Amino acid sequence: MPFDRPLNRRSALAFLGGAVALSIRPWPAAATEARIGRLIELAGNKGSVSQKIDFISAALRGSRYEGYTLVGGPSRPEKFVVRDDAFDCVTFCETVLAAAIAGKKDEFDSVLRTIRYHDGVVSWRERNHYFFEWGQHNVENKICRPVEMEGSIEIEKTVYWHKELGRRRFSMRVIPRSVLLANKQQLASGDIIGFITQRPNLDYFHVGFIAFNSGGGLLLRHASQSQHRVLDQRMDDFLAVNRVRYVTLLRPEEPRAVAMSR
C-alpha cells in the first residue's frame, strides 16, 4: 500500500501514516545505548561519515518498525528518548546519523539532541516536527548540506498539521523523480532522501538513506511501516508504488564541521 495516505506520527513530520497507535513507553536514553556504543566503536575505522552511515544502517537491518516512540506534546513534558531496538523512518535516520557522527559513545546523546531539536533544546516546540525544518536546522548546524541536481525546481508548500505550531509556508528546492533516476552517479551511500507528499498540509511523507547493492543498483534503506522492519528496497519500486513526484537530498558533513549542543 502506498505510504502517501492519511498520516499520523512524529506530529507534523507525520511520515508514517495510518497505523494503529501503539502504547507509548518512555525509554530513558541510557537504557539501550549498549548496541549503539558497540556500533560506534565498530564504525570507527570505516573512513568517511557516509561510509559509517552505510555500515551502521546496514547493521540495523531487521530492527522492528515502531511508531510513537517520542514522548511529549503541547501540554506534556518532552522526554529525550533513545531507542536502538525499534524505529520509525525519522528516528532511524536520526539514530544512525548521530552514531556515525559521534566519535565515541559518550558523544552520541549530545549529537542526537542537536539533530532532533532546534538548538539541541529538549522541548516539544523545539523538536524538528516538519522535515523541511529538520533539514534546514541541520544544514545550519553543519550536520548536513543540501544536494541539488540540474533539473531541480522550486515548489511552494503550506503546512498546518500541528495547529499548535500555526500555519507555515515555505519554498522548497526539489528534485523530480525522473531527474533523480537519471543522475544516480551523483548519489552517495548515506545520503538522506526525503519524499515530498502530495497532501496539502504536510511537506514530506517518508525519509530514508541512499544505499547500493553489490551490483550498483540504487536502494532505499529505511524503516518501513508496511514491512514492519528496517530493510533495503529497490528505489525505483518504492518511487513507483508510492507515486513519488519529488524528493530532496541531504549529504551528511564530516564530524569536524558539526556544532554539537552540550
23 Cβ neighbours under 8 A, 6+ residues apart? none
Domain ranges of the chain: 29-257
Q: What is the pLDDT of residue 29?
A: 42
Does CATH place domain 29-257 in 2.30.260.10?
yes
95 Cβ neighbours under 8 A, 6+ residues apart? 36, 60, 82, 83, 84, 87, 112
155 Cβ neighbours under 8 A, 6+ residues apart? 171, 172, 174, 196, 246
Q: What is the pLDDT of residue 161?
A: 81
Q: What is the pLDDT of residue 3?
A: 41
Q: What is the pLDDT of residue 261?
A: 52
Q: What is the pLDDT of residue 255?
A: 84
For strand 64-65 and strand 86-87, is the pairing parallel, antiparallel, or unpaired? parallel
Ranges of the chain whose pLDDT falls below 70 = 1-33, 256-262
Distance in angstroms (rounded) separating the CA atoms of residues 175 and 154: 9
Residue 237: its H or E element: helix 235-241
